[in-house]
Structure 1
């Protein structure tokens, strides 16, 4: 079978790139609706209104609401992982790793707490809806790998039960993030001190 000519390959690549960019634009608008209303209270119609698109256009790019929500969660969590990973890459030595990790987590809580709320909403839904379980497992795998990387950057081998370290750190992150949404908001200094104390125990 003959291979696709170079011009057709290039054309297909450009078409796919445009499609991917449009999906990202739709997802960015969708996230605004989702983080405000939550998974259960957001319909495709809500997302269409936020995106200034028709329902037909949404269905052209995404099979259904679940497909769109999964894409949205992957999109922003991958960005979160990149930001934390970049912060750890620049850190050398245990103290700098603790500082960099703490600062990156606090920045994310302060700047993106409403978006993280969507992640915890979807993660809870995965206990009831098997459709969400693969993407939740994929994202949590990346988050666990971040914790393992922090151990290595701090000069230690990651423990065999690194998942438990992740779970403890995630619990603190969720609790502090939840407080930022309510009235018990902490200052950057307070949040950073909490993470530094926790990471000092781990690392």
Structure 2
């Protein structure tokens, strides 16, 4: 019994220390991602990130062993927030029309507001074809995105199978993202109509 209280204090201190470390990593990642999304994986080193983010190289190395670890952390954080936003938009909706509308608007808004960050996601996904270090996080993120698509598909009786539907949505998202970055940017409303048209086509009903 006498050891329980000291051990409890140690556990609490360890938890506090871990929380502070995680908060600092998030803070660093928020600064670093600005450089990463601007220049991409291949054209950026930790030294570049440190310079662009006004962070010390030593600080980055303390929290992230290398550029790959930092990139994985940044992309995971962003995609978690993206999935959470889309999930919140479609939460509680039951009709097919309302789900399609909310889902389309969420995808469109994300392209308009965060195009460069999504570009970084496609960069790391392409790298995963060549570098196995990225494959686990890509698989993890794609699984979470496929879960969102599954909620749109419902029981699947009158829509395409979830993997096919995910591929269709991802393909259109990738195309519209590229056009948003390269051509004249379009509004959320215009992009939303593109996604709504796609979703309507995927329904067999």
What TM-score bracket applies, with the shorter chain setting the length? over 0.9
Match of residue 66 from structure 1:
68
1:46-93 Cα offsets, whole Å, 9 max, x none, are 111233222111111011111111101101011101011111114231
- Name the CA distance, whole Å, in 1 between partners of 2:156 and 2:162: 12
Query: Which residue is 1:105 aligned to?
Result: 107
- C-alpha distance in 2, partners of 1:164/1:119? 20
Deviations 1:18-73 (A, max 9, x none): 10000001111111001100111111011112332221111110111111111011
Among residues 53, 56, 61, which one is paired with 2:55 in the alignment?
53
Please report the TM-score for the alignment, with normalisation by the length of structure 2: 0.91
* Unmatched segments (≥5 aa) in structure 2: none
Partner of 1:167: 167
Counterpart of 1:42 (choices 22, 41, 44) is 44
Contact persistence 2:41–2:120 (CA under 8 A): yes
TM-score by length of 1: 0.92
RMSD: 1.9
Higher alpha-carbon deviation: 188-197 or 26-35: 188-197
Equivalent residues, number:
201
Q: 1:148·1:158 contact (CA, 8 Å) conserved in 2?
A: no
SS, match of residue 26 in structure 1: helix
Distance in 2 (CA, whole Å) between partners of 1:5 and 1:26 is: 31
